[in-house]
A and B are shown apart, each in its own frame.
Chain A
Amino acid sequence: AGMSYWCQMYFQNSATLSGVRVQWVFGLYCVVTFAIFVFVALSMATSCFSPYMYLLMQTNHVLERIWGLVPLIILTFLSWPSMGLLYAMAELESPLVTLKCVGHQWYWEYEYSDFGLVSYNSYMVPEEDLKLGEPRMLTVDKSVVLPFSVWCRVLTTSFDVIHSWAVPALGVKSDAVPGRLSESSVKIETPGVFWGQCSEICGALHSFMPIRVEVVSCEIFGK
């Protein structure tokens, strides 16, 4: 599903290619960082429990060169895919649909200007009004509707203070800054419902302005 699950320890499954790629790069970083940590932990453990002192560790220029160069190589190897992904994510294909999210204290206002001006506000449903089975803190009265397999452009801005429009399962996060229009592009591969929350502190009800994105086929979207 497009939301987190109990005891989750990893990312939510991503419905966009860029999300999948982010998780791949993260996995690469994890492998390398875990290896580095194991190296550090093992050398600490062996030196703690060993009765010997390693004299070659006292003044060793070769060693110093090695531990300067090897990290540099490892880090270059790590950042290469990361940079590539950054530029790939910044490629803005010509989108077919534009969604504008305007952050307010404390709700979102969505606008679709491709089809005349369609605009509505989306508020969180308070706990007492929830129906059976609706997730607490995430249910909204009106959700965002987007078509799948189509490039969509998401523009974020704000009416008052800085908010952030974020949907983890789509790999989207974009600060909504007043006076600025931030652009992200997203192409969602599968239909479904995806959830997110506001990700920049915006006052008292910051925790209570969630986001629900319903991704449907193009025909349904057209209606």
Chain B
Amino acid sequence: MGRFDSAFWKFFPCPVLLYGKRLDLMSTNHLDIGSLYMVFGFWSVLAGTSLSSLIRWSLFNPGSKFLDPVCYNAVVTMHALVMIFFFVMPVMIGGFGNWLVPLMLQVPDMQFPRMNAFSFWVLPVSLYFMVVSAFVENGVGTGWTVYPPLSTFSYHGMCMDLAILSLHLAGISSIFSSINFMVTITNMRSVDGHLLALFPWSIKVTSFLLLTTLPVLAGGLTMLLTDRHFNTSFFDPVGGGDPVLFQHLFWFFLDLVYLSRFMFLVYKKKLLMEMWVCSMPCLNIGFLGFIVWGHHMFVAGMDVDTRAYFSAATVIIAVPTGIKVFAWLATMMGSKVSTEAPMLWKLGFIALFTIGGLTGLILSSASVDVTLHDTYFVTGHFHYVLSMGAVFTILAGFTHWSPLFSRVMMHRQKMKSHFIAMFLGVNVAFLPHHFLGLAGMPRRVVDYPDQFWFWNKVSTFGSHLSTASLLLFVFLVWEAFMSHRPVVSVRNSSSSPEWSVAVNLPKHAALESAKMSGGSI
């Protein structure tokens, strides 16, 4: 890609080969940093999927001694942490955000390019600590929610501390990149506010959510650290603390991460509805997301009125989410639906995210949740929302914009086969989870009573298929670069400005922010 932007580091160039072209690792150009995030996320998804394969192999047969319980707990924890913090967040916000936001806004770069680079480079360090924590002592086996007192009391060694440090660093990365996005989108616009494209708008809402809640997570994690080493007792009842305090802090942050991801999903297709039809629900979901965290804690012993409140607030979030889904449906009805790979991913996303949302609605009821909390029903719900919602979105975005990012076209028909394989794989893998949860199988178990064998077996077959489709995807990416079908023109005259650089990618999309003034557009 041959862009050497880093004036300060001109004396220490660190060129590497990326896509067969030289890429300066010290670059502060948003395009380079976006590519770095994508590569980082790509590695992480391979790691996270391997961990998920280990989990499903363990659960293939009852009584299987494939992984011992201590190792299994560590694998379960690592799977979630790697997928969330090192795949979904970097690719969605770092990768797509960095690539597309300046292009869509038609501005030269992000507002703070060096902070942008810093945000990226903290992540490999964070991942390093996370991976090391899995290898020292017995690995972190608390589940990704790291509830005390298990995380304070039972894990005395360095592994827990390394994991906490890793999460702190990942949080720092996200906080700084959120600041960067918010300032860029607010400040460097060339058009008035209400004409902002949906994608940057939703990134802005997402960044605001991350910015406000990541410090809370960091605080909770620091309290864990001080409880472990500095004799505080935030979460220790002997000293007057309460483990449930951590649950409140943790879930306050977490719900917003979940929501932030779904803010800017499928905005690749042009919404025929007015902008505000989707931007208002974004805001509503964002605001409501602050006040529903207790729906993770319905059996932890909260007061009944509190549970009733959280249940009601969670149900209300379904309304703006539903509006967004209906707006997408209306867009589909009002336009010609293509059957190209990106569109297939978007269609799959709408259907499966709707299912995930509806099972979430079932879980939001505090009374029904008593039977379903911490069972496989919850696992089925959030995998529909994440493994199908978030992942399908990422793949939709990647297949849609890969000619822009990589300058080569992926194989059209093989991408559709990949979609079919992945769609079947994830559905076969995660639909049985709902049945297991209804039947009473608890979460995070390495072994189960024999009666649960059938659906576990089916689910494992599905996970084999989805892992195979991931390998197919890796092959397709390689094949695209090897076959070298360069982009020569952009066929659909889409009004999205990012495609203006499809054929010739300069260092910056626009040398200065365009100024449009006067009249309404």
Contacts and interface: CB of A to CB of B under 8 A. Distances in A.
A33 B361 CA distance: 8
B449 A137 contact: yes
A69 B82 CA distance: 40
A22 B440 contact: no
Nearest to B371: A22
Interface in A191-221: 195-208
A207 B445 contact: yes
B444 interface: yes
B319 A75 contact: yes
Given A29-B361, A174-B299, A206-B445, A57 B272 contact: yes
A90 B304 contact: yes
B112 interface: no
A59 interface: yes
Contacts of A41: 351
Q: How large is the interface on B (under 10, 10 to 19, 20 to 34, 35 or more residues)?
A: 35 or more
A10 B362 contact: no
A96 interface: no
A189 interface: no
Interface stretch (B195-203, B334-342, B419-427): B334-342
Contacts of B455: 7
Contact of A43 (B274, B329, B368, B435): B329
Given A86-B308, A162-B149, A198-B442, A179 B242 contact: yes
Q: Which of B141, B142, B318 has the most CB of A within 10 A?
A: B318
Interface residues of A, number: 89
Interface in B433-458: 435, 438-455
A64 B332 CA distance: 15
Contact of A40 (B307, B311, B315, B351): B351
Contacts of A197: 440, 442, 445, 449
17 contacts: A3-B449, A4-B441, A7-B455, A8-B438, A25-B367, A29-B365, A29-B368, A48-B332, A64-B323, A71-B318, A78-B315, A82-B366, A89-B367, A162-B150, A179-B243, A203-B73, A204-B69
Interface of B: 62-63, 69-70, 73, 141-143, 147, 149-150, 153-154, 236-238, 241-244, 272-274, 277, 299-301, 304, 307-308, 311-312, 315-316, 318-319, 322-323, 325-326, 329-337, 339, 347, 350-351, 354-355, 358-359, 361-362, 365-368, 370-371, 373-375, 435, 438-455
